[in-house]
A and B are shown apart, each in its own frame.
Chain A
Amino acid sequence: MNRLQTMSVALIALTPLAAQAEVTICASLSVTGPAASLGIPEQQTLAFLPEEAGGQAIRYVVLDDATDPTKANTNARKCVEDEKADILLGSSTAPTSASVAAVAGETGTPVIALAPVTVDAAVEPWVYRSVQKNALMASALIEHMQKTGVTRLGFVGFADAYGEDWLKTVTPMLEAAGIKLVAVERFARTDTSVTGQVLKLVASAPDAVLVAGSGTPSALPAVGLRERGFAGQIYQTHGSATTEYIRVGGPSVEGSILPVGPVVVAPQLPVSHPSRGIGVEYYTAYVAQYGEGSVSAFGGMMFDAGQLAAAAIAAAEGTPGTPEYRMALRDALEGLTDVVSVNGVYNLSADDHYGHDQRSRVLVQVTDGAFKYLALD
């Protein structure tokens, strides 16, 4: 009896809510599995996303895809069919994002991916990304190399898609900048020794070395280089921008330079940086909840995705839950200009579904065991 009463009260309470238009954003994130270190801060950022935009309430749904593309596909379908999602978010890695994007294209739902995913031309109109391209990140490093007079660069990268993509990205850029690639070496995440590669690098006498790896394994070549007495600059990619990298590398990674999204060093940004205000706000709120050193670029990407979605909702007209409204949201996303978020300023267009410019990356240097903002000019 009691339960029935509660239920009817709940039902009555729900009725007006259901009548009111509510926009649904459904995310598939890799909260478990190999990419958990990306998915967890993304999920935790959910609490800091806008609750309403343009007078409309936003409902968030998060599903875990366990870094599995098949699961991501199922999640995306669940989002569209069961949750009547108006916008999809995710996923955390390129393969899982490709699965979500495929469903997005098929069902005509806009998606904001948190990984640099490449999709078919037919699907592309529906796919947006809140993550910087490798080329944008590399441009910051190359700018620094030119400024400090580096003419000979050694490259040591993961023997996988990540390292390969970085090599492909930087090779033409280095050529244009007049920097010679003197050695190209590979290593694996599970390697216990990189002495051979390090000896070869040192023997080719580079001014600086770029390590293209992600996470803590990229500390190993840095340690090896310092052990062999290499005194030049060590550059890393944004894949290593975690406090764990500094912990494992210790004194050997002091002074190494990485490109990152501005949010990672939000409180250190110059006052003139557009992301400073909103970045510090997010940074402080996140640190208050999850502790010092918890802010990562990945949570920032999720925050950006939330800002982009909110801006599109504010601009689009229509009834949530209908195909027309999803179309309107897509059009709104493509037309967004000057959306300021924690990882820079977004200007999207039909040709550019990333929307970043050089304000979306800054350089940081490991100084006294922490990331310090490094001004480029």
Chain B
Amino acid sequence: MDSTIALFLVQDGLINGAIYALLAVCFVLLFAVTRIIFIPQGDFVAFAGLTLAALEMGVAPGSALLLVCLGVACALFDLAGLRNWPPAGWLLRRLGAYLALPLVLWLGVRDLAPMDLPVWADICLTLVIVVPMGPFTYRLAFEPMRNASILALLITSVGVHLVMMGLGLLFFGAEGYRSTPIWGGTILLGPMMIQGQSALLMVCTLVILGLLWCFFTRTLAGKALQAAAVSARGAELVGISVETAGRRAFVLAGLIAAIAGILIAPITTLYYDSGFLIGLKGFVAAIVAGFASFPGAVFSAIVLGIIEAFAAFWASAFKEVIVFGLVLPILLWRSLTNPHDEEH
């Protein structure tokens, strides 16, 4: 192995690590605010990539119809939970979000998709289709069990992942898709050749992480989210709605997952079930960071990506074994160095 190969492997590791980092941040965020270990996170990445690829091919993506189904289910849940007639404004807002938005999207996308739209329009459409899936899923699966234990929430989350995968097969089919690069050029950096799309991916990841940092430290909404994460009861005492915080966290997670999907769709072939393994790597990075620290999660995600790249080079047959095997000693070390209660 010479230095050029090492540089290429590091580059590959950084690209994969960047995606894992985005997902790891989502895992940490959702766990902190809602105590949910959100396994379907990766599925949203795949859905976003597949939606973008479908739009590029001029086909109405199945995810638009999926969103309609989720929306109808959410609306039914809301109506069934009513004890007395709600204020008209509340009803209008809810039905607007759960029924009108997905329906308009679905009908609109069927007319818009064959029209050979510019890339940015495809990306915007993908975002508005995939992002609401986050809060919709939260409303459907997790809001009704707000006070459940972490374990019960985790089991539900695995269930949601299985349902999502089945729906993905139904709406996208078994074949893989790849979208065209948003930026097709290459950058020459000494002996390194960096694909434009890869560079774009890394820049976007950095920007998103930077924006997240600003959001949490500089804005009221971000500080409220953080407060809800630190102590739910404390936050409620000072007038922060934990329910709203949960929803906002899921919007954020949906947004990040959708952007990650849009960014990797041109780099790899995505399948309806590709998301799980990507999500799992992000999950591992979040675990290594103790599900608590954002910088820790980002750092371990990038290290994980680089380890993976080198493992693929040295022993491709054992790539996943090496990646997941290395997590064990780290977990052991973590549990020995900072012991804490099972339930908190």
Chain A residues within CB distance 8 Å of chain B: 34, 36-37, 156, 159, 185-197, 199-200, 203, 215-217, 219-220, 227-228, 244, 248, 250
Across the interface, do B274 and A188 meet the contact criterion of CB distance under 8 Å?
no
Across the interface, do B312 and A192 meet the contact criterion of CB distance under 8 Å?
no
Given known contacts A190-B277, A192-B264, A192-B274, is B9 in contact with A199 (CB within 8 Å)? yes
Shortest Cβ gap from B319 to chain A (Å): 8
A-B pairs, 7 with minimum CB distance: A196-B312, A196-B313, A195-B12, A186-B317, A192-B268, A216-B176, A186-B316
Across the interface, do A194 and B312 meet the contact criterion of CB distance under 8 Å?
yes
Q: Complex: how many Å from CA A199 to CA B15?
A: 16
- A-contact bits for B270-296, CB 8 A (1 contact / 0 none): 110110111000000000000000000
Q: Complex: how many Å from CA A332 to CA B9?
A: 59
Q: Which residue of A has the minimal Cβ distance to B177?
A: A248
Q: Complex: how many Å from CA A195 to CA B17?
A: 14
Across the interface, do A217 and B269 meet the contact criterion of CB distance under 8 Å?
yes
Chain B residues within an 8 Å CB radius of A194: 312
Across the interface, do B16 and A193 meet the contact criterion of CB distance under 8 Å?
yes
Instruction: Report the count of interface residues on B (CB-CB < 8 A).
Output: 36
Shortest Cβ gap from A158 to chain B (Å): 10
Q: What are 10 A-B contacts defined by CB distance under 8 Å? A: A159-B317, A190-B274, A192-B16, A193-B15, A195-B9, A197-B312, A203-B1, A220-B269, A244-B176, A248-B175
Across the interface, do A217 and B176 meet the contact criterion of CB distance under 8 Å?
yes
Q: Please count the residue pairs between chain A and chain B whose beta carbons lie under 8 angstroms apart in the complex.
A: 87
If A193-B12, A195-B9, A227-B195 are given as contacts, then 13 extra A-B residue pairs at C-beta distance below 8 Å, sorted by A number, are A159-B317, A188-B320, A190-B274, A192-B270, A196-B319, A197-B312, A200-B313, A215-B176, A216-B269, A217-B176, A220-B268, A244-B175, A248-B176
Q: Does B204 contact A (CB under 8 A)?
A: no
Shortest Cβ gap from B313 to chain A (Å): 4
Chain B residues within CB distance 8 Å of chain A: 1, 5, 8-9, 12, 15-16, 19, 174-178, 195, 264, 267-271, 273-274, 276-278, 308-314, 316-317, 319-320
Across the interface, do A203 and B5 meet the contact criterion of CB distance under 8 Å?
yes
Given known contacts A220-B268, A227-B195, is B175 in contact with A196 (CB within 8 Å)? no
Across the interface, do A196 and B174 meet the contact criterion of CB distance under 8 Å?
no
Across the interface, do A197 and B8 meet the contact criterion of CB distance under 8 Å?
no
Q: Complex: how many Å from CA A187 to CA B319?
A: 9
Across the interface, do B175 and A193 meet the contact criterion of CB distance under 8 Å?
no
Shortest Cβ gap from B63 to chain A (Å): 19
Chain A residues within an 8 Å CB radius of B320: 188
Shortest Cβ gap from B265 to chain A (Å): 10
Shortest Cβ gap from B177 to chain A (Å): 7
Shortest Cβ gap from A181 to chain B (Å): 15
Across the interface, do A192 and B278 meet the contact criterion of CB distance under 8 Å?
yes
Across the interface, do A190 and B316 meet the contact criterion of CB distance under 8 Å?
no
Shortest Cβ gap from A198 to chain B (Å): 9
Shortest Cβ gap from A38 to chain B (Å): 11
Across the interface, do B309 and A193 meet the contact criterion of CB distance under 8 Å?
yes
Across the interface, do A197 and B274 meet the contact criterion of CB distance under 8 Å?
no
Q: Complex: how many Å from CA A244 to CA B176?
A: 8
Q: Complex: how many Å from CA A15 to CA B13?
A: 72
Shortest Cβ gap from B46 to chain A (Å): 10
Chain A residues within an 8 Å CB radius of B317: 159, 186
